[in-house]
Amino acid sequence: MGNLSAHFDRSEFACLCGCAFDTVDTQLLEVLEGVRQHFGAPVTILSGCRCPKHNYDVGGSEKSQHKKGRAADFVVNEHLPIEVQNYLKITYPDSLGIGSYTGFTHVDARTRGGARWNG
């Protein structure tokens, strides 16, 4: 189905400014495929890769993993973000960056330890 993995296409992760930055980390893809499999529902990427300018324009952190193609903000069809966030926190207790927001979930495949925050 997708050209990056079973369910994801590169275009879903492309920087929204149109600059063509669309390099996606393989660990991030594995996590998102796991989310899709666990919930049995499509995952919609709201924000994936961000070039430095786009990241700045949307108020992203200077150290944002989006700028490295290692992060995604997403929703899972027919599931509340809190359900997804709880699943990720239980499945990856000591790794990944997991941001809990009311309307979406942020996950990143950071290289050092895990981080948790509420938006």
| DSSP conformation letters of 64-119 | -GGGGT-EEEEEETTS-HHHHHHHHHHHSTTSSEEEE-SS-EEEE--SSS-EEEE-
For residue 20, is it within any domain? yes
Q: What is the pLDDT of residues 33-89, one digit of tens each?
A: 999 999 999 999 999 999 999 999 999 999 999 999 999 999 999 999 999 999 999
List phi, psi (to 5°) of 81. -55, -35
Position 99 in a domain = yes
Q: Which amino acid makes up residue 100?
A: S
Instruction: State pLDDT tens for residues 100-116.
Output: 999 999 999 998 888 99
Which pTM was predicted? Answer: 0.94
CA angle, corner 85, sides to 81 and 86, nearest 5?
Answer: 120
Q: Is residue 49 part of a domain?
A: yes
**Looking at residue 59, which CATH number applies to its domain?**
3.30.1380.10
Asked, for residue 1, whether it belongs to a domain, the answer is no
Dist. CA 117–CA 89, nearest whole Å: 11
pLDDT at 2: 63
The predicted structure's pLDDT at residue 53: 98
Percent of the chain with pLDDT over 90: 93
59 domain-assigned: yes
